[in-house]
């Protein structure tokens, strides 16, 4: 036994001595660049049921009967007594289409013929079922119109076996011309993942119904008709510097008719014109025939969300071009003015005085104060001379009226190749404020490109790494957010931070995915109808956002940046307010490493440093609903003595050291 222990100790000793040892030098008093407050942000798009069926907490699918199939999501059940086939009466539900009412043309006309509860049911299945929570109040509302009163509605939630989970009734009383709103609330008595909403009709008569809606009351900030609190909280916990919205390809649309038009997403929700979501049909292997945009989450709500979570708003608007992978439609230059006007009006909507046309709309929606918009993207992944031609027209008009607004320009869908190079040169000639770069690439690419920005010109044109994610198997399909994707992003991000002089904004994409409704993987945050969890990639983002600092300082290994030597990656920053030096180290190798940090120019250091670390020996390890923080940061303290600090870098680890300085 004793010999065994002795042998073990010797082996451990040999192993320790054999660990690679490196000495990093950090010059805490030699800042090389400011880190923009916007540096780490988030990218929001209604993809993977991100908005409808996701963060927008509406539980009723197709509430206004505007889907291509007007009764999609709804089912009708009749007892023999009321079945029109049997009883020979009027069809119980007709879909009426008011052609002249373009924003919300359809409603249903319901005929109730001496029914009692149990005879006639209209039922909604929710997006992928309805997530229902015990003891939470549910707010039902409906717009109705009737000539005479005579119909009573029994509204109930049920589980998949039909067991009732809570109910209420409404007896619409208003009659005559115009639409009226009826509301009722009830509390659920159980939690279920896939419930549904049933409306039983009682009485005798006919009634028109529209905007049939059910919201949980536990929305973010308790706002009626608001957003899922758990999902917004995940964003707030990132403390993002900016939020880009509403996408992504959704800005472009499959064709110009289905482009994102912000003006159609503000004002009363019943006036917001629904369109098909472009991800409905995009991928044959992930069809989503019930995916539409109701715009209940529209531009007012996006600005409000940005304000709530302390992020600078970054709207992207259509540049007069639809998706160049899809329809390839462009608007002729002669017809571009309305598109440019949309951009100008958006600035007025966000920042304008309450007496201005669009400032008035914002104020009427409950926000007289401006939203402090400072930047805007023109086009998403657009490219070619057609893009430049349109971009120039937008830039001229916007800069003339609002010279302080920074404009984000597209460099296409890839960070290299002929299309990218052409745009990069032209945009720099135009002295672009920001060039938006996108890369969905392999972990190897992320490691190999850590120095990408080291040689980028230091001038007024800044980089927005607007969409990126490490794709582990490099193909479309069910790609995992695992520790390998996350640690390769952590390594790459050292290069973004080191180049904060050039890179002023960065955001992972896409943000959300519903387990039963995704089109694209990997994604930062996964949700089901009740819960959400952050992936390892989420926690890497959070480690950067919460440990940002405001100035980059040099960290070197043998006088070189730490960018892959022995699979080590490092960056350093200082927080001049908290008086801390923040050193980030990634060890992307399977072996532990013993490093020494020589901290120069920090004065007397605090006796203890905070260490925040993510580590796993399993590169394919993931988080899940049952183990949501399997791969997540752990915080500890470390004693610090003098200017030579010994730090261990465990195999496959990302570690941040926060050291107090004078
Ligand atoms: O993030 C998913 C998609 O990837 C975005 O909509 C698009 O901009 C990019 O191609």
CA dihedral 262→265→266→268, nearest 10 degrees, is 160
348 as an active site residue: the answer is no
- The hierarchical CATH code for the domain 21-35+553-661 is 2.60.40.1180
Give residue 147's pLDDT: 95
The closest of 139, 145, 131 to 175, measured between CA atoms, is 145
Give residue 13's pLDDT: 45
Counting from 1 in the atom list of ligand 1, the atom nearest the Cα of 467 is: 1
> Ligand 1 center to residue 536 CA distance, Å?
20
Pocket (CB within 6 angstroms of ligand 1): 45, 47, 247-249, 380-381, 413, 438, 467, 509-510, 520
pLDDT tens string 104-160:
999 999 999 899 999 999 999 999 999 999 999 999 999 999 999 999 999 999 999
Give residue 230's pLDDT: 98
Task: Name the closest-CA residue to atom 7, ligand 1.
Answer: 248
Give residue 101's pLDDT: 73
pLDDT tens string 251-300:
999 999 999 999 999 999 999 999 999 999 999 989 999 999 999 999 99
Give residue 85's pLDDT: 65
380, 410, 476, best to mutate for ligand 1 pocket (most atoms within 8 Å of CB): 380
Residue pair 119/79 in contact (Cβ under 8 Å)? The answer is yes
Candidates 381, 467, 497, 580; catalytic one:
381
Q: Measured on CA atoms in the order 158, 163, 166, 167, is the torsion positive or negative? A: positive
Give residue 19's pLDDT: 78
pLDDT tens string 287-336:
999 999 999 999 999 999 999 999 999 999 999 999 999 999 999 999 99
pLDDT tens string 368-408:
999 999 999 999 999 999 999 999 999 999 999 999 999 99
The residue-averaged pLDDT of 636-644 equals 93
Buried/exposed code over 587-619 (b: 16+ C-beta within 10 A; e: otherwise): bbeeebbebebebebbeebeeebbbbbbbbeeb
Q: Tell me: pLDDT of 199 over 50.
A: yes
247, 252, 507, best to mutate for ligand 1 pocket (most atoms within 8 Å of CB): 247
> Ligand 1 center to residue 510 CA distance, Å?
7
The closest of 577, 539, 556, 559 to 658, measured between CA atoms, is 577
Q: Measured on CA atoms in the order 268, 209, 183, 150, is the torsion positive or negative? A: positive
> Ligand 1 center to residue 248 CA distance, Å?
5
> Ligand 1 center to residue 462 CA distance, Å?
21
Return d(Cα 189, Cα 133) in angstroms, integer.
Answer: 8
Give residue 473's pLDDT: 81
CA dihedral 32→34→38→42, nearest 10 degrees, is 20
Q: Domain 40-57+220-545 falls in which CATH fold?
A: TIM Barrel (3.20.20)
Q: Tell me: pLDDT of 80 over 80.
A: no
Query: What whole-number percentage of the chain has pLDDT above 90?
Result: 91
Paired with 164 in beta bridges are 158
Q: Tell me: pLDDT of 521 over 60.
A: yes
Q: Tokens representing 345?
A: 């009006």
Give residue 59's pLDDT: 98
Q: State how far the alpha carbon of 545 is from the alpha carbons of 179, 485, 580, in Å.
A: 48, 18, 15
Query: What whole-number percentage of the chain has pLDDT above 70?
Result: 95
Give residue 480's pLDDT: 82
| DSSP reduced 3-state for 113 | strand
pLDDT tens string 15-51:
445 678 999 999 999 999 999 999 999 999 999 999 9
> Ligand 1 center to residue 484 CA distance, Å?
21
| Long-range interactions of 90-94: CB distance < 8 A, separation 24+ | 92/120, 93/122
Counting from 1 in the atom list of ligand 1, the atom nearest the Cα of 249 is: 6
Give residue 6's pLDDT: 47
Task: Name the closest-CA residue to atom 4, ligand 1.
Answer: 248
All structural domains of the chain with their residue ranges: 21-35+553-661, 40-57+220-545, 74-216
Q: Tell me: pLDDT of 531 over 80.
A: yes
Q: Tell me: pLDDT of 501 over 80.
A: yes
293, 466, 467, best to mutate for ligand 1 pocket (most atoms within 8 Å of CB): 467
pLDDT tens string 539-569:
999 999 999 999 999 999 999 999 999 999 9
Give residue 538's pLDDT: 98
- Strand boundaries in 171-266, DSSP class E: 180-187, 192-216, 242-245
Q: Tell me: pLDDT of 412 over 80.
A: yes
Return d(Cα 141, Cα 466) in angstroms, integer.
Answer: 39
47, 509, 512, best to mutate for ligand 1 pocket (most atoms within 8 Å of CB): 509
The closest of 313, 300, 307 to 365, measured between CA atoms, is 300
The rounded mean pLDDT for the chain is: 95
Q: Tokens representing 635?
A: 């915080």
Give residue 20's pLDDT: 81
The closest of 132, 129, 133, 124 to 63, measured between CA atoms, is 124
Q: Tell me: pLDDT of 9 over 50.
A: no
Q: Tell me: pLDDT of 499 over 90.
A: yes
Return d(Cα 239, Cα 42) in angstroms, integer.
Answer: 10
> Ligand 1 center to residue 135 CA distance, Å?
38
pLDDT tens string 421-444:
999 999 999 999 999 999 999 999
CATH C-level class of 74-216: mainly beta
> Ligand 1 center to residue 239 CA distance, Å?
23
Residue pair 450/471 in contact (Cβ under 8 Å)? The answer is no
Give residue 184's pLDDT: 98
């Amino acid at each position: 036994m004793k010999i065994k222990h002795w042998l073990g100790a010797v082996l451990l000793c040999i192993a320790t001595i054999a660990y690679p040892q490196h000495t990093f030098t950090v010059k805490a008093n030699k800042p090389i660049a400011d880190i923009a407050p916007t540096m780490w942000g988030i990218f929001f798009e209604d993809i993977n049921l991100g908005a409808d069926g996701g963060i927008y907490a509406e539980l009723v699918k197709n509430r206004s009967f505007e889907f291509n199939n007007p009764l999609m999501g709804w089912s009708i059940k009749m007892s023999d007594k009321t079945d029109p086939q049997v009883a020979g009466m009027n069809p119980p539900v007709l879909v009426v289409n008011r052609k002249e009412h373009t924003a919300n043309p359809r409603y249903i006309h319901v005929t109730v013929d001496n029914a009692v509860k149990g005879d006639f049911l209209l039922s909604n299945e929710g997006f992928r079922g309805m997530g229902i929570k015990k003891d939470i109040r549910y707010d039902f509302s409906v717009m109705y119109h009737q000539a005479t009163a005579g119909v009573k509605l029994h509204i109930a939630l049920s589980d998949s076996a039909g067991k009732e989970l809570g109910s209420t009734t409404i007896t619409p009383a208003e009659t005559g011309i115009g639409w009226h709103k009826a509301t009722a609330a009830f509390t659920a008595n159980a939690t279920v993942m896939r419930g549904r909403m049933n409306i039983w009709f009682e009485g005798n008569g006919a009634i028109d119904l529209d905007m049939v809606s059910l919201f949980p009351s536990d929305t973010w900030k308790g706002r009626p008709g608001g957003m899922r609190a758990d999902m917004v909280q995940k964003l707030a916990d990132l403390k993002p510097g900016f939020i880009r919205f509403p996408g992504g390809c959704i800005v472009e649309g499959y064709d110009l008719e289905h482009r994102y038009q912000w003006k159609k997403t503000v004002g009363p929700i019943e006036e917001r014109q629904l369109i098909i979501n472009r991800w409905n049909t995009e991928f044959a292997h992930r069809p989503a025939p019930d995916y539409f945009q109701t715009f209940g989450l529209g531009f007012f709500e996006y600005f409000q969300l940005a304000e709530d979570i302390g992020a600078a708003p970054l709207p992207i608007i259509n540049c007069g071009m639809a998706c160049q992978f899809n329809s390839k439609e462009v608007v002729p230059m002669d017809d571009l003015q309305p598109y440019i006007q949309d951009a100008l009006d958006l600035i007025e909507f966000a920042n304008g005085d309450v007496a201005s046309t669009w400032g008035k709309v914002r104020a009427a929606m409950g926000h007289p104060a401006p939203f402090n918009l400072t930047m805007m993207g023109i086009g998403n992944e657009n490219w070619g001379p057609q893009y430049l031609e349109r971009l120039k027209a937008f830039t001229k008009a916007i800069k003339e009226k609002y010279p302080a607004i920074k404009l984000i320009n597209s460099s296409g869908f890839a960070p290299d190749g002929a299309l990218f190079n052409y745009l990069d040169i032209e945009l720099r000639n135009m002295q672009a404020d920001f060039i938006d770069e996108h890369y969905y690439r392999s972990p190897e690419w992320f490691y190999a490109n850590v120095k990408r920005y080291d040689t980028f010109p230091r001038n007024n044109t800044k980089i927005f790494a607007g969409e990126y994610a490490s794709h582990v198997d490099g193909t479309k399909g069910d790609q995992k957010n695992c520790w390998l994707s996350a640690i390769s992003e952590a390594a790459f991000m050292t290069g973004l931070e080191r180049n904060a002089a050039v890179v002023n904004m960065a955001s992972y994409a896409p943000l959300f995915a519903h387990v039963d409704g995704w089109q694209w993987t990997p994604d930062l945050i996964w949700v089901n109808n009740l819960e959400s969890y952050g992936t390892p990639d989420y926690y890497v983002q959070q480690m950067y956002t919460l440990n940002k600092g405001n100035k980059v300082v040099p960290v070197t290994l043998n006088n070189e940046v730490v960018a892959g030597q022995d699979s080590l990656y490092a960056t350093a920053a200082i927080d001049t307010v908290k008086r801390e030096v923040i050193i980030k180290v990634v060890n992307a190798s399977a072996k532990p490493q013993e490093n020494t940090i020589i901290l120069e120019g920090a004065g007397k250091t605090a006796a203890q440093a905070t260490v925040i670390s993510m580590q796993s020996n399993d590169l394919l390890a993931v988080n899940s609903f049952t183990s949501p923080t399997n791969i997540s940061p752990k915080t500890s303290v470390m004693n610090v003595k003098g200017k030579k600090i010994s730090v261990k870098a465990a195999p496959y680890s990302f570690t941040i050291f926060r050291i107090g300085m004078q």
